[in-house]
Amino acid sequence: MTAPQRLTLTRADAGRLLVRYHFRLAPLASVIHRLGTIQFDPLAPVGTNPDLVLQARVPGYRQGDWQQAAYGQRWLVDGWDKQASLIRPVEWWAQAPFHRWFARRWQRRGVDVEAPEARALVAQVERQGPSTSLELGDQRADPALRGSWYGPKRSRHLLKALWDAGHLMTHHRVGGRHAYDLPERVLPQGAGMDDATDDEALQRLVVRRVQAAGLLRPAADGAVWSLPCPRAERDRIAARAIARGELVELDMEGTTYWTTPEALAVLEMAPDPAAAPAGEMRFLAPLDPLMWDRGGVARLFAFDYVWEVYKPQARRRWGYYVLPVLWGERFVARFDARCQQGTLTILAWHWEPDISPARLPEGLAEALESAAGAFLGYLGATRLVLPRGLGREARRAWQRAAR
């Protein structure tokens, strides 16, 4: 088989590809299909990560809409991809390598998902239906587990292991807590692919990771490429996907990137009259798939982003939960914010060095007003508290948006 030709992409076209691929506004179901996976994170100062990812792409999206998509319509299910994630149920079959990897890891910790006590928990779920950890198993604390990440109850460790191994799934959430059920009662009919090989499942995981990011360096940090296989195995699987046309290998100024044919095609698409204006502004999630490879973002956009949520406060430069601000094809700012009881408080706003708050570039204030209005609507916020450092034009843009 002849090796596929390695394509060359300029830095400008690579950035354009990412912006066009990610931010073509579309209905919720279409965005879910485009990304394939959305990382889940429970922190929610201005909505959860799925909320923030979707509000940047779905017109009229409101905080919490993803839960109806997941637990009502089953367009998404809780699974594992890049950390805990929401994935499409039709791809549940590709979770098998993760399930086996987690089962082995839990067994090394002394938790066996095939043990009688684990089987008893599954049987209890089968009898009771969707149930949280507060309703399942022995609720007594185990002194040996005090200080553990999952708490002192052995039953909770078993439930997490059973979830990781695919023996239980999330039916819905109760105040953020998983309500567990059997996979066959959660997955829509026909979601399985029982005859898939390990290579087929791993290939789907690799391709899906690139699909979600749009453009991804093979040399990106390990956290970006967390997979149930060594990197050499990932490279073998990726080479097979490239040979089969499911991935495309690109060279951008000497750096290798992978993309998908669907993402690459956006560079050739004619402008869509119904699409958002080229100069539209968007507030992005810290864990938006565009931001996963922060080294790649720095190379393509000259935007050095650091998520400081787990740093001690004294060591933070930007803030606790900082959202990047994208205007057209450039990052212009970042801000830290909270929304409580209908009040959006922007704790800090940092313009990029090439932006003067005293004299904003033409069109930026108008784009900010539109983005701010959409963001307030997404949050359902009716009141606004602004920080210093915005500049007069930006402050007025936010104030007009809040009226």
* Tokens encoding 360: 């904003």
Rounded Cα distance, 201 and 326, in Å: 34
**In terms of pTM, does the model score above 0.85?**
yes
**What b-and-e string marks burial along 71-89, b requiring 16 or more CB atoms within 10 Å of the CB?**
beeebbbbbbbbebbbbbb
Tens digits of residue pLDDT in 348-383:
999 999 999 999 999 999 999 999 999 999 999 999
* Per-residue confidence band for 6, with pLDDT thresholds at 50, 70 and 90: confident
Residue 169: partners with Cβ closer than 8 Å, 6 or more residues away: 77, 78, 163, 180, 181, 182, 183, 186, 187
Mean pLDDT of 33-41: 98
| Block residue for tokens 């040979």 | 243
Vertex 304, ends 302 and 305: CA angle to 5°?
A: 135
Q: Is the pLDDT reported for residue 177 higher than 80? A: yes
* Per-residue confidence band for 272, with pLDDT thresholds at 50, 70 and 90: low
pLDDT of residue 176: 85
Answer for the pair 269, 297: CB distance below 8 angstroms, yes or no. no
Mean pLDDT across the chain: 93
Instruction: List the alpha helices (DSSP H) in 214-361.
Output: 231-243, 261-264, 294-301
Mean pLDDT of 301-317: 95
**H and E: helices and strands count for the chain:** 14, 14
pLDDT of residue 149: 62
Answer for the pair 337, 323: CB distance below 8 angstroms, yes or no. yes
Q: CA 326 from chain center: how many Å?
A: 17
Q: Is the pLDDT reported for residue 241 higher than 80? A: yes
Answer for the pair 77, 186: CB distance below 8 angstroms, yes or no. yes
Mean pLDDT of 263-270: 90
Give percent above pLDDT 90 in the chain: 87
Closest C-alpha to 54, from 276, 217, 264, 287: 287
pLDDT of residue 196: 86
Answer for the pair 162, 154: CB distance below 8 angstroms, yes or no. no
Answer for the pair 140, 180: CB distance below 8 angstroms, yes or no. no
Vertex 103, ends 196 and 192: CA angle to 5°?
A: 30
Q: Is the pLDDT reported for residue 135 higher than 80? A: yes
pLDDT of residue 183: 96
Answer for the pair 66, 29: CB distance below 8 angstroms, yes or no. no
Mean pLDDT of 2-13: 84
* Tokens encoding 243: 């040979």
3-state secondary structure of 281: strand
